[in-house]
Amino acid sequence: MFDSLIKNNKINMSLEDQNFVKALIAGDHTRTPHEKKFLFDIIANKTNGLDVDKLDYLCRDTAVLNMRMMVSLMSLHRLLSGARVDPQTGHICYIDKDILTVETFFLHRRYLHNNLYNHKTVTAIGYMIGDAFIAADNYMKLSEAIYDPERYITLDDHIMKQIKESDCPELAESRKILERITSRDLYRKAGSRMIRCSDFPRIRAYVTPDRIAEATILCSEKMDSKDQEIASVLQPSDIIVHFSSRHFGMGEQNPMDILKFYSRDNLNDFHSARSTGQYDPQEPVCQHFLLVFVKQEKFLEVVKAGYKQIEENFIEHKVAESSPPAIDSA
């Protein structure tokens, strides 16, 4: 998108400056190692996650939803005004009196992920919009547009309006899904669970739509004839297994242990939050969650039974230890 903006608007910018801007967006100092390191802590901070991108969307989303920010804007302005660069590491550091402000900021991020971004209704609607776009893709070629800057900027909310107002038969399935969102006929939650960090890789590898569908069919033997009939037509594609992680922005690593602080008494002595005696974390840094959805209401009860059987398996440690793929630090 940046390259397209430069080209289409005939902006006079050197290739060196263009590469520098793109490196800042990516938060990758290795692209332009001759530039000052602290500049890469500002936009996309890959070192500790405290950057203006998070400051922007957390404050903005909180205001739009008429929620209360855990940390005041005045405190954030004071935090930024006291920022200094550690000459040894080249990274931005903060005054130690703002340790609580920084911690509260990370706590607020996790709070929004818990109560907003990963809310079950938000997640269900997200999957429904995704399924609607997949159903429309053969006709609208949406997946191709992401590689074309000119078409990419047209991928906004009007696409859903365009699909819903169309009478094109190729968009019938997509239209049906979007109409379900309007009428609140949403994908239904069939199960949920918080998962310990130590169990997350094993459970993530074990709990799949195929395995839940298989367990549901086995459980249906103890159900009445109506539920047996429903379970007999269940397909793994009717089930969604959603994993999410809620953390401070650095996965299972605590950014408070990475950030450095200084005191007014010694402006050049940079140290960790714990060493000041002002920081003692009481909550887990990272939590993992599992949500199971069904796409059709008729499958809800039978899949609940199947998921319950799967859950009993991993709770009772019947699942064999495995070495699943590495986890994304979303």
> Tokens standing for 208?
């799949």
For residue 318, the model assigns a pLDDT of: 54
pLDDT band at 277 (very low <50, low <70, confident <90, very high): confident
Amino acid at position 49, single letter? G
Contact 8, 24 (CB under 8 A): no
Q: Mean pLDDT across the chain, nearest whole number?
A: 91
DSSP type of residue 307: H
What is the per-residue pLDDT across 168-215, written as a single tens digit (0 to 9) for each? 999 999 999 999 999 999 999 999 999 988 889 999 999 999 999 999
CA 114 to chain CA centroid, Å, is 10
> Is the pLDDT confidence value at 50 over 60?
yes
pLDDT in tens, 288-320: 999 999 999 999 999 999 999 999 887 665 555
HSE at residue 259, side-chain half, CA atoms within 13 A, is 31
Q: Which residue has the tokens 């249906």?
A: 220
DSSP string, 85-117: E-TTT--EEEEGGGHHHHHHHHHHHHHHIIIII
Q: pLDDT of 280-290, one tens digit each? A: 887 778 889 99
What does the pLDDT read at residue 319?
53
Q: What is the pLDDT of residue 330?
A: 38
Q: How high is the pLDDT of residue 210?
A: 97
Q: For residue 180, what are the contacts with CB-CB under 8 A and spacing of at least 6? A: 128, 186
Can you give the pLDDT at residue 205? Answer: 92
- Rounded to whole angstroms, the Cα distance separating 207 from 211 reads 7
Cα 303 from chain centre: 26
> What is the pLDDT, as a whole number, of residue 324?
44
Among 90, 94, 93, 92, smallest CA distance to 37 is for 90
What are the tens digits of pLDDT across the range 210-257? 999 999 999 998 899 999 999 999 999 999 999 999 999 888 899 999
Question: With contact defined as beta carbons under 8 Å apart, do 274 and 132 qualify?
Answer: no
How far are the Cα atoms of 43, 204, 323 from residue 326, in angstroms, in the given order?
Answer: 27, 10, 9
CB atoms within 10 A of CB 116: 13
**Looking at residue 273, what is its pLDDT?**
93
Measure the CA–CA gap between 256 and 197, rounded to whole angstroms.
19
From CA 87, how far away is CA 84, in angstroms rounded?
9
The HSE-up count of residue 166 (CA atoms within 13 Å, CB side) is: 19
pLDDT, position 279: 86
User: What's the rounded Cα separation, in Å, for the pair 216 and 221?
Assistant: 9
What tens digit of pLDDT does each residue of 86-112 get?
999 999 999 999 999 999 999 999 999
H or E stretch at 59 = helix 52-64
Q: Is 259 exposed, middle or buried (0-12, 13-18, 19+ CB in 10 A)?
A: buried
Tokens found for residue 273: 């939050």
In whole angstroms, how far apart are CA 2 and each of 7, 21, 30, 33, 187?
9, 9, 19, 21, 37
323 pLDDT above the threshold of 90: no
pTM score, whole prediction: 0.87
Angle between the N-to-C axes of helices 158-165 and 172-182, in degrees from 0 to 180, rounded to the nearest 10: 110
Q: What is the pLDDT of residues 121-170, one digit of tens each?
A: 999 999 999 999 999 999 999 999 989 998 998 899 899 999 999 999 99
